[in-house]
Amino acid sequence: MTEDGCIFCKIVAGELPATIVDEDERTVSFMDINPATRGHLLVVPREHAHDLLSIEPPELAAVTASAQRMATRVKERLGADGVNVLNSCGAAAWQTVFHFHLHVIPRYESDPLTLPWLPTPGDPVAIASAARALSEESMGE
């Protein structure tokens, strides 16, 4: 299934150009045209899914396996010191293309990329409250 106007669906269908570096029956991996670091690429499912909340589990597993394969490759072939795998789900989380995708971002000791927040200790009461809301036991409440 494709969605009209979806840039990633058009890349998967071969209607738009992309630098494809890997593909299989369920996924396509191609270079990001706005790379954060050398070797930054995207892994997408061939089947359109709007975001993390709507992708079917088998497709999610296939994209994750491809992302792992590509992360291994960027470490081995580009000499990356580490790898970030990133998904943005929803506009508030910086999703700009609404076709589920994982960013595979090679990290190098000398690269200037920083996290979007500075981790600091949280309020234990707020953490416990969120944990209660998210736990299996709260499903029936």
What the block records as the tokens of 51 is 């975001």
- Kindly indicate whether the domain formed by 7-111 is annotated with CATH number 3.40.50.1970: no
- Across the range 82-110, mean pLDDT stands at 96
Rounded Cα distance between 27 and 62, Å, is 7
pLDDT at 123: 92
- Cβ count near 11 (within 10 Å): 19
pLDDT at 4: 83
Give me the phi and psi of 31, to 5 degrees please: -70, 140
In which band, very low, low, confident or very high, does the pLDDT at 48 lie, cut at 50, 70 and 90? very high
What is the DSSP code string of 25-64? SSEEEEE-SS-SSTT-EEEEESS--SSTTTS-HHHHHHHH
In which band, very low, low, confident or very high, does the pLDDT at 139 lie, cut at 50, 70 and 90? low
Residue spans of the domains in the chain: they are: 7-111
In which band, very low, low, confident or very high, does the pLDDT at 1 lie, cut at 50, 70 and 90? low
- Does pLDDT of 131 surpass 90? yes
Residues annotated as catalytic are 101
